[in-house]
Chain A
């Protein structure tokens, strides 16, 4: 019996499947609508006190450097902008999904969350440095990219054990180990979950192709998340440790970025890395 394929085929029939919060769904719909009004976004967000308090916390953090405390949600959304609000909502979705997990001895939830958020923050920072605007999709995509691993932990913890064990003994990556043992992997599971949730296509694209961005529809967006994933391991946070050493110059996603945004001549890789480490430190203070 192939436990992972089983989950994949019956995902829509699982009764206790993690739900995508209605509030978050509405928020995504509005933040991606060019004609949307702040007042309608405010109305929806009010339904979730957690998100309200997160938004106020960020607006009042030293990063925004305001002279007096902001307590109006409307004003806060105005200051942050739709992109930032969407980012916060994705963080809260991820938190509530992962917090619903039973404790598992190998799958360290805190590390997983740290990696997920770290990847979102890194993707956002890369987009900033490279001056590409994805309207927040790189952050959301970064946060959610490994959501398929949550499904494995939730419905096949023993399979997760075998995957990790096999990866460790053969010194191969998590995804290679999944493919070898089950012929299917977390990117496919994650993509299916997101399609059940009805999330935007670019999110599905990121989750499905973050290990090989050249197959993605939006290969620049997916490459940013892919490189962020690599760098988040090298930055020293997260679950896995597949990338203890790597050469960015030889990476498929990095090559796509250099090629598509035409900057191979001007980009100083070391400078880029030093800036990234510095900016990530700043960004982390905002979200974590």
Chain B
């Protein structure tokens, strides 16, 4: 079997992925796709990428989608991941929200081990100082991830995008290569165990102005994806924003959100 796929096959596979998940798979990561899928193709006793695409599109492949997504998702998280989105949040979205109210409610809807909500707080402190005009809710379905987030201990890799100054300002070094987030950051964040598929839980979280929900929807089927997006639309105040993953879209869903362009970043806005 060939090592990598030809460009036509790659295009076919990425448009299939986009249709099914809303994720745009970048050309620059093609090698990753090839190497991960090769393993899966061998397990299925298939002979080529083309055969695998045919299999995906056939009815007998029910249950294969989660396996495909598993192979293509990169479960990495670090501080200030996708900086263009964070810049858009700090420089454009926040000032826009603060035109309408004094304190913004921000929700990191799949906060995992805490890098995202803490990043948002650090970004805001850089702009507004310690008394940030925002309340941050961080939630995740995994209690284990939440516990880690509350511990707030990170390795060098998680902090790779941070300057020495920022590290020093917002973290304590507990041993070489191990850093603990300072309380002044942690105390700004409320953690809760929330399942995005559980609407009773979602009904209890109150109104939000900005929701970060990056690279999570891929784990949902189309129907529940639509439900979560509808719910998030309800949860947002008028003019509020939804930020998805950097190459993630909900264009194939039926929503009233409006797409906004920022510097090299996209977000969705609810009408005012």
Contact = CB atoms under 8 A, between A and B. Distances in A.
B130 interface: no
Contacts of A259: none
Contacts of B261: 230-231, 234, 245-248, 273
Contact of A268 (B249, B258, B260): B249
Contact of B266 (A233, A249, A270, A278): A270
A233 B249 CA distance: 21
Contact of A269 (B18, B84, B251, B263): B251
A75 interface: no
Q: Say what secondary structure dominates the interface of chain A.
A: helix
B148 interface: no
A244 B92 contact: yes
Interface string B9-38: 000000000100010101110000000000
A1 interface: no
B91 interface: yes
A260 to B, nearest CB: 21
A260 B259 CA distance: 22
Chain B interface helix/strand/loop/mixed: mixed
Contacts, number: 59
A108 to B, nearest CB: 17
Contacts of A14: none
B197 interface: no
B259 A277 contact: no
A64 to B, nearest CB: 15
A246 B263 contact: no
Contacts of B263: 233-236, 244
B101 to A, nearest CB: 18
Nearest to B91: A244
A274 B24 contact: yes
B168 interface: no
Interface in A171-203: none
A66 interface: no
A270 B252 CA distance: 10
A246 B26 contact: no
Contacts of B91: 244
Contacts of B264: 234-236, 277
Nearest to A268: B251
Nearest to A233: B263
Given A233-B263, A236-B263, A271 B27 contact: no
Nearest to A248: B261
B219 interface: no
A273 B264 CA distance: 9
B203 interface: no
B259 A249 contact: yes
Interface string B221-255: 00000000000000000000000000101011000
Given A235-B263, A246-B261, A247-B260, 15 more contacts: A230-B261, A234-B263, A235-B264, A244-B91, A245-B88, A245-B261, A247-B269, A268-B249, A270-B266, A271-B18, A274-B24, A275-B24, A277-B264, A278-B26, A278-B28
Q: Which 6 A-B pairs have the closest CB atoms?
A: A270-B249, A274-B24, A236-B263, A234-B261, A236-B264, A270-B251
30 contacts: A234-B261, A234-B262, A235-B263, A244-B92, A244-B262, A244-B263, A245-B88, A245-B96, A245-B261, A245-B262, A246-B260, A246-B261, A247-B259, A247-B261, A247-B269, A249-B258, A268-B251, A269-B251, A270-B24, A270-B249, A270-B251, A270-B259, A271-B18, A271-B251, A273-B261, A274-B24, A274-B26, A274-B247, A275-B24, A278-B28
